[in-house]
Amino acid sequence: MTTEVKAAPRRPAARVRRLIRGAQLELRMLAMLGILSLGLSLISPYFFTLSNILNLMDQSVITGIVSIGQTFVILIAGIDLSVGSLTGATGIVLGLSLQTLPLPLAIAVAIIAGGLAGFVNGYIITKGRVAAFIVTLGMMSVGRSMAYVLSGANSISQLPDELGDLASATVFGIPLNFVVLVVLYAIAWYYLTFTKGGRTIYAIGSNAEAARTAGLRVEFYSILVYVISGALSAVAAVFLAARILSIDPIAATGLELDTIAAVVIGGASLFGGRGTIIGTFIGVVIMVLIRNGLNLLNVNPYWQGTAIGSIIVAAVLLERFLSAREGLARAGSEEG
């Protein structure tokens, strides 16, 4: 009020206000997250123990890594249903490679395999103009089938111990795999916010035609997001295999649904152009918390699916309700 008179302090204040307005969605998600953890800690004394928190971190790694790729894909108004089976298939590729190759090389082979599968997805979707839903549904089936074929339908175990270090090592007491997750999110955030490629991805999702007319490389980035998604599925497979030093062809079944749920809970629009990587991170943590909470509460596993499904839809409904006023203001200003 009185600060309005003074000119000097207005700018930073305005900047903060703008920042808050821009991050409103994330702040709301964060609040939801806070309420959720508070509730859980009240219900279960075990919730806020160190071992449970380490457990939560561990559980968010796989979904978290794959959700980054899923965010990229959803931002261009696509969808990647193949991430679960690609995680399974590239896990098998990793296991087989480790029988002859040293660890870093084997990891590289797995990531390249994942990237290649993603490229096939992106290429057919973009050049062949086939719906992403159909193409990745096909890849989902192919990927799982390849996992069985390559492994002979058996799990590959007794993987080298050095692989296990990826799961057990810590950095300043924090599990290495969680650190990797955070670093990947930081890179993704930087890429989406401050680079030409990142802004192009947003522009494609918002209006591909306008992006193309402005000279942006729409086709290249439309394929790239699927390559990233496929490659990250392989990265997730590495940490999945590291956890129990074994990989199974049915691993990561249903992961695509968890990642899509996390991205949507994180506020992204399935119509593209809207959503943030920070939102996705919060979405992942919420997903993990819900699962964790249901376990802590000893909810019958058969009922957990119903509970999770309902909570996802309710969370998104709540978000739509909260942002409805924002949306109305937006629609209103479009008037002639």
List residues binding other proteins (CB under 8 A): 18, 194-197, 199-200, 202-203, 205-207, 209-217, 273-274, 325, 328-336
To other proteins, the closest distance from the beta carbon of 213 in angstroms equals: 5
For residues 202 and 239, which CB has a smaller minimum distance to other proteins in the complex? 202
DSSP for 118-187 reads HHHHHHHHHHS---HHHHHHHHHHHHHHHHHHHHTTS-B----HHHHHHHH-EETTEEHHHHHHHHHHHH
143: how many CB neighbours lie within 10 A of its CB?
26
**CA pair distance 101, 107, nearest whole angstrom:** 9
**CA pair distance 151, 168, nearest whole angstrom:** 26
To other proteins, the closest distance from the beta carbon of 276 in angstroms equals: 12
For residues 138 and 197, which CB has a smaller minimum distance to other proteins in the complex? 197
Tokens for 227, please give them.
Answer: 């390559």
For residues 161 and 334, which CB has a smaller minimum distance to other proteins in the complex? 334
For residues 28 and 243, which CB has a smaller minimum distance to other proteins in the complex? 28
Tokens for 315, please give them.
Answer: 């969370």
| C-beta of residue 92 within 8 angstroms of C-beta of residue 147 | yes
CB within 8 A of 64, min separation 6: which ones?
Answer: 181, 184, 185, 262, 281, 284
To other proteins, the closest distance from the beta carbon of 119 in angstroms equals: 21
Question: Counting Cβ atoms within 10 Å, is residue 177 exposed (0-12), middle (13-18) or buried (19+)?
Answer: buried
For residues 1 and 331, which CB has a smaller minimum distance to other proteins in the complex? 331
To other proteins, the closest distance from the beta carbon of 169 in angstroms equals: 31
To other proteins, the closest distance from the beta carbon of 329 in angstroms equals: 3
Question: Could you tell me the CA-to-CA distances from 238 to 112, 153, 165, 184, 276 in Å, in that order?
Answer: 13, 19, 11, 14, 25
For residues 6 and 11, which CB has a smaller minimum distance to other proteins in the complex? 11
To other proteins, the closest distance from the beta carbon of 259 in angstroms equals: 22
Nearest CA-CA partner of 97 in 84, 111, 107, 85:
107
Q: How many CA atoms lie within 13 A of 90 on its CB side?
A: 35
Q: Which residues pair with 175 in a beta bridge?
A: 170
To other proteins, the closest distance from the beta carbon of 28 in angstroms equals: 18
For residues 5 and 329, which CB has a smaller minimum distance to other proteins in the complex? 329
For residues 15 and 162, which CB has a smaller minimum distance to other proteins in the complex? 15
Which residue spans within 100-193 are E strands per DSSP?
170-171, 174-175
To other proteins, the closest distance from the beta carbon of 206 in angstroms equals: 4
